[in-house]
């Protein structure tokens, strides 16, 4: 039998490695920015063309590379960061694997210019698809100038999987934020298609956050600091009243490296318990300083997932630090039982002391006038009056598409039973058993159909807000809002841009009821859905907008519903031609037959 195992060609091996390291333009931006920081740069410039698909350029004034180092940098596993296996547990730099440039050069056309401080001339190297093209001396400034052109030009299938320019740019913004926040002592410049997008001067952490996310953050932040023998925790957290309904600015850095840790995020959120609603998420910029030997950052090529030796201990320290910071700013009670509480009860000797007087009406008779009974039923109905989107059609005759075993709307008896289970499900009796309805999914279907009907109509009626609401966004969200505002305006919104990161909403679609949420919260939800879907134009855009609004405005699990509310929801639900499924594809209801109930009890 002939031998069948053989070594892969170097170019193929590099492309396989690139599949782990270079997933999209943002991956290249991450690697190049990290290299620039590791090189000791004090000024770093990032330039893009076509969201990085055509060009990614990073220029730094770091220490640069010699001729030999410049050539060696494109070899796999060539690195200056580690020499032995033990070094993996004492890493302080961003890069160390020695795969980034080799992987990038295997899927793009790369041009490198670099010079060290003690060299009169620099070196220029051109590599395309791992193939060496040229090397020559050149005049260039100290540092490194690296251009990555035509990403995935030699792998068309990979290039076709890239998203729209707006989506890819937002991913690049994410990586940019991950680098500029911890390295606030470095000057950064960001350009796209020849236009400057952001300029950040050397500063402190607070100034850097404000520079990235806007001036409004200056009033939103609370400082925190805690040092233990295991970890040092510093940074800033966002006040509870500014918590978002979506996962907003949540940043955790370990030794200045951005990481993702759902466990730590959960611990931080628990620290806000009682201060924010269950469907809100607190923002934070938390920096951990820890002995590198206590963590393992070599478990994932992107190095955003790390392993702590004792993650539970770290999370506990962070949560305690957050609670202390919230308490010190009167966001929550903070009592230190180890410190004696001194209360100043000293009286002002110049102030006249008056004896309090108690006035009594001797003629008062509590039984003289009859007490009027309270109509609890009326009060409760007033309090629980159906708020929102279902009320407007309460008197409309519904031609319902009920299941065959469920009575049509004109057959519904006034003594039908409606029960709410766990403040999440509605239960009603039907001919063959029980109807079990997910109240949130049902309301989403109702709202989606209503909003879709309005969107597809010739006239998009708007309801003018009494006071226009201004919304401050960070740079990436502002860019997205500018792209989708025309489409939103066609659906009934009236949105105008006031500045680089400020928008004004003066009207909303007529059939939207904003009770319980603000326009800003609704817009945040729409933006977050667009970030995840990547949809900007066409029918998919319409679906994303309407689905986002339906999710945001619908009844949530845990919300109490009166019998009238439940009855109205059931009637409206079965008026839909798509009552079985929610707009995002979840089952809305299930009928449990009498036979199934019998089996449950046998």
Q: pLDDT for 106-122, tens place per residue?
A: 999 999 999 999 999 99
Identify the pLDDT of residue 73: 87
**Strand-pair partners of 581:** 587
- Helix, coil or strand: residue 360: coil
Q: How far apart are CA 435 and CA 38, in angstroms?
A: 62
> 313-317, 436-440, 487-491, 494-498 — which is least confidently predicted?
487-491
Identify the pLDDT of residue 394: 37
Q: Are strands 494-497 and 502-509 parallel, antiparallel or unpaired?
A: antiparallel
Greatest mean pLDDT among 190-204, 388-402, 412-426 lies in 190-204
- Two tokens at 484? 């989708």
CB of 508 closer than 8 Å to CB of 462:
yes
Identify the pLDDT of residue 378: 40
DSSP for residue 321: H
**CA distances in angstroms from 269 to 206, 216, 237, listed in the order given:** 22, 22, 11
Residue 64 has pLDDT above 90, yes or no: yes
Identify the pLDDT of residue 299: 52
pLDDT: is 549 or 191 the higher one? 191
Q: If you average pLDDT over every residue of the chain, what do you get?
A: 80
Span 291-312, average pLDDT: 73
Span 266-279, average pLDDT: 87
Identify the pLDDT of residue 377: 42
Identify the pLDDT of residue 533: 63
Q: Where are the domains of the chain?
A: 10-202, 207-328, 398-602
DSSP for residue 407: P
Residue 275 has pLDDT above 50, yes or no: yes
Three-state DSSP string of 278-293: CCCECCEEEEEECCHH
pLDDT: is 368 or 445 the higher one? 445
Tell me the DSSP string of 232-259: EEEEEEE-GGG-BSS--SEEEEETTEEE
Q: How far apart are CA 128 and CA 118, in angstroms?
A: 29
Residue 243 has pLDDT above 70, yes or no: yes
Identify the pLDDT of residue 302: 54
Identify the pLDDT of residue 383: 35
Residue whose pair of structure tokens reads 């790390």 in the numeric block: 306
Span 133-146, average pLDDT: 95
pLDDT range class, residue 522, cuts 50, 70, 90:
confident
pLDDT range class, residue 349, cuts 50, 70, 90:
low
Q: How far apart are CA 306 and CA 241, in angstroms?
A: 31
Span 10-16, average pLDDT: 62
Query: Nearest 5°: CA angle at 71, between 70 and 72?
Result: 95
Residue whose pair of structure tokens reads 């193929």 in the numeric block: 12
Identify the pLDDT of residue 426: 94
CB of 87 closer than 8 Å to CB of 291:
no
Q: How far apart are CA 534 and CA 168, in angstroms?
A: 9
Q: How far apart are CA 403 and CA 426, in angstroms?
A: 16
Q: What is the pTM of this model?
A: 0.67
Same fold for the domain at 207-328 and the one at 398-602?
no
Q: How far apart are CA 488 and CA 215, in angstroms?
A: 26
Select from 3.40.50.1820, 3.40.50.10170, 3.30.230.10, 3.40.718.10 the CATH code of 207-328.
3.30.230.10
Residue 66 has pLDDT above 80, yes or no: yes
pLDDT: is 393 or 516 the higher one? 516
CB of 18 closer than 8 Å to CB of 75:
no
> 12-21, 200-209, 438-447, 545-554 — which is least confidently predicted?
12-21
507-521, pLDDT tens digit by residue? 988 877 777 788 888
**Strand-pair partners of 196:** 191
pLDDT range class, residue 494, cuts 50, 70, 90:
very high
Q: How far apart are CA 314 and CA 312, in angstroms?
A: 5
148-205, pLDDT tens digit by residue? 999 999 988 888 889 888 889 989 999 999 999 999 999 999 999 999 989 999 999 9
Domain 10-202 falls in which CATH fold? Answer: Heat Shock Protein 90 (3.30.565)
What is the percentage of the chain residues whose pLDDT exceeds 90? 40
Residue 598 has pLDDT above 80, yes or no: yes
Identify the pLDDT of residue 452: 82
Q: How far apart are CA 188 and CA 321, in angstroms?
A: 31
> 10-24, 119-133, 561-575 — which is least confidently predicted?
10-24
Identify the pLDDT of residue 472: 84
pLDDT: is 293 or 117 the higher one? 117
pLDDT range class, residue 218, cuts 50, 70, 90:
confident
367-392, pLDDT tens digit by residue? 554 444 434 344 344 333 333 334 43
- Two tokens at 528? 């977050």
22-62, pLDDT tens digit by residue? 889 999 999 999 999 999 999 999 999 999 999 999 999 99
Question: If residue 209 lies in a helix (H) or strand (E), which one and from where to where?
Answer: helix 205-213
Domain boundaries 398-602, CATH class: alpha beta
Residue 460 has pLDDT above 90, yes or no: no
Residue 355 has pLDDT above 80, yes or no: no
């Amino acid at each position: 039998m002939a031998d069948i195992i053989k070594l892969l060609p170097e170019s193929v091996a590099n492309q396989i490695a690139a599949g782990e390291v270079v997933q999209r333009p943002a991956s290249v931006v991450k690697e190049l920015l990290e290299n620039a920081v590791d090189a000791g740069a004090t000024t770093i410039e990032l330039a893009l063309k076509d969201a990085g698909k055509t060009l990614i350029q990073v220029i730094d004034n770091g220490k640069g590379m010699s001729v030999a180092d410049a050539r060696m940098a494109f070899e796999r596993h060539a690195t200056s960061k580690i020499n032995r296996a033990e070094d993996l547990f004492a890493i302080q730099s961003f890069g160390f694997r020695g795969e980034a440039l080799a992987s990038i050069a295997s899927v793009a056309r790369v041009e490198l210019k670099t010079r060290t401080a003690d060299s009169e001339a620099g070196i220029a190297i051109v590599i395309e698809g791992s193939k060496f093209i040229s090397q020559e001396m050149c005049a260039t400034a100290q540092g490194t100038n690296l251009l990555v052109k035509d990403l995935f030009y030699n792998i068309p299938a990979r290039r076709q999987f890239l998203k729209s320019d707006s989506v890819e740019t937002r991913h690049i913004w994410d990586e940019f934020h991950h680098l500029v926040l911890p390295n606030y002592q470095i000057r950064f410049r960001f350009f796209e298609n020849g236009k400057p997008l952001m300029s950040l001067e050397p500063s402190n952490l607070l100034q850097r956050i404000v520079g990235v996310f806007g001036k409004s953050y200056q009033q939103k932040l609370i400082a925190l600091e805690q040092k233990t023998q295991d970890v040092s925790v510093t940074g800033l957290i966002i006040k509870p009243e500014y918590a978002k309904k979506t996962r907003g600015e949540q940043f955790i850095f370990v030794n200045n490296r951005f990481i993702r840790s759902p466990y730590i995020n959960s611990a931080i959120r628990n620290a806000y318990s009682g201060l924010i609603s269950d469907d809100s998420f607190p923002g934070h910029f938390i920096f951990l300083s820890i002995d590198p030997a206590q963590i393992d950052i070599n478990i994932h090529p992107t190095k955003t997932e790390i392993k702590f030796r004792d993650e539970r201990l770290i999370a506990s320290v962070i949560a305690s630090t957050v609670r202390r910071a919230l308490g010190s700013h009167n966001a929550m009670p903070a009592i230190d039982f180890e410190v004696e509480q001194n209360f100043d009860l000293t009286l002002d000797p110049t102030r006249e002391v008056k004896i309090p007087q108690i006035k009594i009406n001797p003629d008062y008779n509590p039984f003289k006038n009859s007490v009027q009974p309270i109509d609890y039923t009326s009060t409760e109905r007033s309090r629980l009056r159906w708020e929102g989107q279902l009320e407007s059609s309460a008197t409309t005759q519904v031609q319902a598409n009920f299941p065959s075993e469920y009575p049509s709307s004109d057959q519904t008896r006034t003594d039908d039973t409606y029960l709410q289970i766990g403040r999440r499900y509605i239960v009603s009796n039907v001919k063959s058993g029980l109807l079990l309805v997910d109240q949130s999914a049902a309301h989403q279907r109702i709202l989606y159909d209503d909003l879709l009907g309005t969107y597809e109509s010739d006239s998009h009626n708007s309801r003018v807000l009494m006071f226009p609401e201004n919304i401050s966004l960070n740079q990436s969200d502002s860019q997205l809002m500018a792209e989708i505002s025309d489409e939103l305006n066609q659906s009934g919104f009236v949105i105008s841009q006031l500045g680089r990161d400020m928008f004004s909403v003066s009207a909303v679609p007529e059939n939207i009821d904003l009770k319980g949420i603000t326009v800003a919260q609704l817009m945040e939800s729409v933006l977050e859905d667009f970030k995840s879907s990547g949809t900007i134009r066409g029918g998919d855009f319409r679906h994303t907008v309407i689905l986002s609004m339906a999710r945001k405005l619908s009844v949530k699990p845990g919300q109490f519903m009166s019998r009238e509310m439940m009855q109205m929801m059931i009637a409206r639900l079965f008026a839909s031609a798509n009552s079985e499924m929610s707009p995002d594809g979840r089952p809305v209801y299930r009928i449990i037959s009498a036979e199934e109930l019998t089996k449950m009890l046998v």
